[in-house]
Amino acid sequence: MSTKQNKPSVDPVIVVMLGVVFLAVAIAMIIFQPQSNSIDIAANSGVMSQLVVAFVTGITTGGLSCLAVQGGLLASSLAHQIEQDYVEHTAKHKKSKHQETVRTNSALPISLFLVAKLVAYTLLGALLGWVGSFLTLSPTTRAVLMIAIGIFMVGNALRMFNVHPIFRYFSIEPPKFITRYIRRTAKGTDTATPIFLGLLTVFIPCGVTQAMMATALGTGSALMGAALMFAFTLGTSPVFFIVAYLATELGSKLEKFFMRFVAIVVLILGFVTLDSGLNLMGSPFSLQNMTRNWFTPQAAANASADVPQPVTAAEGEIVLNVENGGYSPAILKAPAGKDLTLNLVTNKTYSCARDFVIPDLNFYELLPDTGTVQVNIPAQEVGSTLFFTCSMGMYTGQIVFE
């Protein structure tokens, strides 16, 4: 018994999926290419590097994280298609008991949803960048935002694991008037719903997206904000597409497996975001800062043995190398009770490490990719610690005053 006689020999879902993946890879290659010739385009390297980071963040973590938050909207875009396929299928096979094997054409709605999402977030990025040109999001505000996002993500993961009914409230239900409006206006069409819902995703950004939105805001440029959000959203698309495709096409068993997998990833990302927020707040209780403290004697010993220590510390100057992979040394020792100058040295540093923050001093500066920036540090008490971090809370370190 054939279910669909005029089914094309090549599954359009696979074609579109491959198309999206190739497009993403091609853009990644275009972005990466100038990075390798960064000497020639020094002025633009920081921009390119930010776009690469945005794209890689999207392709690695953003996709799954977004799916956890926006999965409902995507599923809604597919619902109409699935429903239509179901109706067609049952009309053809009224006596069939295998209703769950209905094959759906989910490629089109997923693609429309993702394209609409890409457009919406690019425009949002432009808007944020433009707004950012008027205001600066302080590291503390960003930290609070990240902690809230982290809690939201962890709550969402626990909801997926069905830990407790309370976690259901971490799932955002679109307002009734919106869902009703969408349902009624999209009735009878296959394209309006996914496009509209794709656009609506801007109202429920996932944690990673929100962090990226904060970064877009921080660019202070409409063009850069748009480019950043475009790169990020494009990066999320293949993962989004593949997971959504698998979730809708491979049946409920695999869907459950995938949702568990997504839940685990979101849980981890939630803790990472939470930890980044704590880092950005200069909290000694972040995982990074706590674990560094646990191994302080050893780490400090290693630091003094392996890394050139600030030879002029006694004279009031300390040096911190800001590298693409973080800060070196991660633990700086400095004399207490006297004003100090911290020399931040960058040398072809294009990662977010150069977005340097000392939360307790309320110091925040985007360092040049190559050069030295001096920071005045007022006298600190013996035994006190100043934590420093990048603006995303990823790379951290500390100055211990003795």
Partner 1 sequence: MIKKTFKIPDMSCTNCAMKIESLEDDLEGVKEINASYHKLEMIIEFDEKRLTDDEIVAAVKKKGYTAIAA
Question: Interface residues with partner 1 (CB under 8 A)?
Answer: 71-73, 75-76, 79, 83, 165, 168-169, 171-174, 176, 179-180, 183-184, 187
CB proximity list for 77: less than 8 A, separation 6 or greater = 109, 110, 112, 113, 193, 194, 197, 198
Please report how close the Cβ of residue 184 comes to partner 1 at its closest, in angstroms: 7
Cα 143 to Cα 355: distance, rounded to the nearest angstrom = 14
3-state secondary structure at position 317:
strand
Take residue 86 and report the two structure tokens written for it. Answer: 């179901």
The residue among 32 and 257 lying less far from partner 1, judged by its C-beta, is 257
Please report how close the Cβ of residue 183 comes to partner 1 at its closest, in angstroms: 6
What is the arrangement of strands in the sheet containing 396-401, beginning at the earlier edge strand? 331-334, 396-401, 385-390, 355-358, 363-366
Please report how close the Cβ of residue 335 comes to partner 1 at its closest, in angstroms: 56
Take residue 381 and report the two structure tokens written for it. Answer: 């008490």
The residue among 167 and 363 lying less far from partner 1, judged by its C-beta, is 167
Please report how close the Cβ of residue 190 comes to partner 1 at its closest, in angstroms: 15
Please report how close the Cβ of residue 171 comes to partner 1 at its closest, in angstroms: 5
Using an 8 Å Cβ cutoff, are 139 and 364 in contact?
Answer: yes
Take residue 316 and report the two structure tokens written for it. Answer: 């009031």
**Residue 236: CB atoms within 10 Å:** 31
Residues paired with residue 371 on neighbouring β-strands, in sequence order: 346
The residue among 185 and 372 lying less far from partner 1, judged by its C-beta, is 185
The residue among 69 and 344 lying less far from partner 1, judged by its C-beta, is 69
**Kind and range of the H or E element at 199?**
helix 192-200
The residue among 7 and 180 lying less far from partner 1, judged by its C-beta, is 180
φ/ψ (deg, to 5) at 285: -95, 5
The residue among 4 and 180 lying less far from partner 1, judged by its C-beta, is 180
The residue among 4 and 187 lying less far from partner 1, judged by its C-beta, is 187
3-state secondary structure at position 385:
strand
Please report how close the Cβ of residue 25 comes to partner 1 at its closest, in angstroms: 30
Please report how close the Cβ of residue 72 comes to partner 1 at its closest, in angstroms: 4
Nearest by Cα to 313 from 322, 304, 326: 304
